[in-house]
Amino acid sequence: MHRTSLLAAIAASACFYAGSAQAGISRAWVSGHGSDVSGCGAPSNPCRSFQYVINSIINPGGEIDVLDPAGYGAMTIPFALSIINDGVGTAGVQATSGAAITISAGVNDLVRFRGLTIEGVNFGATTGIQINSAFGVYVSDTTIFGFNTYGVNFTPTASAPNISRLYMKNCAIQYGGSSNGGHVNVTPNAKAFAEFENVSMVNSSGFGINVDSSGGFEVHTSISDSDIHDVGGYGVRATNTSGTGVSLVIIRRSHIHETGTAAISSNGQNSFVFLNSNDVELNNVGLTTSNGGTINSVGNNFVSGNTTNGAPTATTAPE
C-alpha cells in the first residue's frame, strides 16, 4: 500500500472515533507526581500510570497526555487510544518481563504513540510492542531498546476483509533481539501492511526486519530513509515457506550495512523485494535469494564493499 493510502486509512479511523466517543473522559493526563486515585485525570490532578487510566477512566478512542518526565509502567491496550508526549522529557514504558506494551484492540481500532521511550530493564523483557490485533498502530518519535526477543512483534489476526497496519516514523530500535529474534518481526495471521520511515535499527544479535507471509496472507512492507546496521542476522528478510500468501518488500533511500548473515534476503517463490536508491555495504553478503525468491533493483543502488556483493535477480532502468 502506498504511504498516502495508509495514512488516509489511519486518519479515517481517527475521525470515526472522534465522532463516536462514549460519555465520560476522552482525554486524561499523567504525571510522575500524580496519583492513581478515583477522580484523577485533569492537568491539575493527573494520574500516575498509563494502565490505571486505561483500566479506569479513559473512553475508547481517547487520548492520554504526558505532563512531565517519568516512568509510566507497562500496559495492555484493549481499544483505540492515543498516548502523546509532546516533548516534556522521557516518558518511559519499562518492563522486566513479557512485553512492555501489548495491543489487543478491535479490528477497527487505531492505536497511536508519540514520544515514548520503551525499555526492557536489564534485557529481562521479551518484547517492546506486541501487536495482537488492531486496525492500525502508528508509532512516531519513539525509542525502543533492551528487549531480548523483539523490539516490535507485529502478529495481528483479523477476519477478511479487515487489514492490519503498522506505521513507524522517526523511531529508533536499539540493543536487543536474540539470535532467533530481532528488531521488527512482521509475521501476521491476516493481510497486513507495514511502513517504516526514517527508522534506525541498530545492534541486534538477530535481524533488522523480518517479513514472513508463510501464514498464507499478503504482507506488504515499505522501508524508506532508514538505517539498519550492526545486526547479527539479516538486515531485511522477506520470506514465504508455505507457497500461499505474498511477502512484498520495497526499500528506498536506505542504508543497510555491517550485518552478519546478509543485508537483504528474499526466500521463497512468493517473496519479492524491490530496491531503489539504497546503499548496501560492509556486509558479509549484500544481496541473496533462495528457493525462488526475487530481488529487483531499479539500477541506482550502491552494492559494494561486501565480502560477497551478490546480485539482484532482475534490474530495471531508473525512470
pLDDT value at position 15? 46
For 138, 195, 247, the CA distances from 268, given in Å and listed in that order, are 29, 22, 9
Tell me if the bond preceding 60 is cis, omega within 30° of 0: no
Query: Domain locations in the chain?
Result: 70-315
Inform me whether the pLDDT recorded for 286 exceeds 50: yes
Residues 215-241, mean pLDDT to the nearest whole number? 97
Residues 195-220, mean pLDDT to the nearest whole number? 96
Return all residues near 147 (Cβ < 8 A) that are at least 6 apart.
100, 120, 123, 125, 126, 127, 128, 176, 177
| DSSP-assigned beta bridge partners for residue 52 | none
Residues 160-164, mean pLDDT to the nearest whole number? 79
Q: CA-CA distance, 38 to 17, in Å (whole number)?
A: 25
Among left, alpha and beta (phi > 0; psi -120 to 50; other), residue 198 is left
77-92 in b/e burial notation, b at 16+ Cβ within 10 A?
bebbbbbbbeeeebbb
Q: CA-CA distance, 211 to 196, in Å (whole number)?
A: 13
Amino acid 50 reads F
Pure H helices in the chain: 3-18, 50-56
125-159 in b/e burial notation, b at 16+ Cβ within 10 A?
bbbbbbbbbbbbbbbbbbbbbbbbbbbbbbbbebe
Inform me whether the pLDDT recorded for 2 exceeds 80: no
Using a 10 angstrom Cβ sphere, with 0-12 exposed, 13-18 middle and 19 or more buried, the burial of residue 221 is buried
Q: What is the pLDDT of residues 105-146, one digit of tens each?
A: 999 999 999 999 999 999 999 999 999 999 999 999 999 999
180, three cell numbers: 532467533
Q: What is the pTM of this model?
A: 0.92
pLDDT value at position 102? 98
Which of 179, 174, 80 is CA-nearest to residue 128? 174
pLDDT value at position 158? 72
Inform me whether the pLDDT recorded for 273 exceeds 50: yes
For 38, 44, 52, 57, 297, the CA distances from 34, given in Å and listed in that order, are 12, 9, 11, 15, 54
Residues 190-201, mean pLDDT to the nearest whole number? 97
pLDDT value at position 179? 81
Residues 265-277, mean pLDDT to the nearest whole number? 98
Question: How many angstroms from the chain centroid is the CA of residue 275?
Answer: 20
Amino acid 86 reads D
Inform me whether the pLDDT recorded for 20 exceeds 50: no
Q: What is the pLDDT of residues 49-91, one digit of tens each?
A: 999 999 999 999 999 999 999 999 999 999 999 999 998 999 9
Inform me whether the pLDDT recorded for 177 exceeds 90: no
Percent pLDDT > 70 in the chain is: 91
pLDDT value at position 146? 96
Percent pLDDT > 90 in the chain is: 86
Q: CA-CA distance, 205 to 178, in Å (whole number)?
A: 5
pLDDT value at position 17? 43
pLDDT value at position 21? 36
Q: CA-CA distance, 193 to 219, in Å (whole number)?
A: 6
123, three cell numbers: 534485557
Residues 15-39, mean pLDDT to the nearest whole number? 75
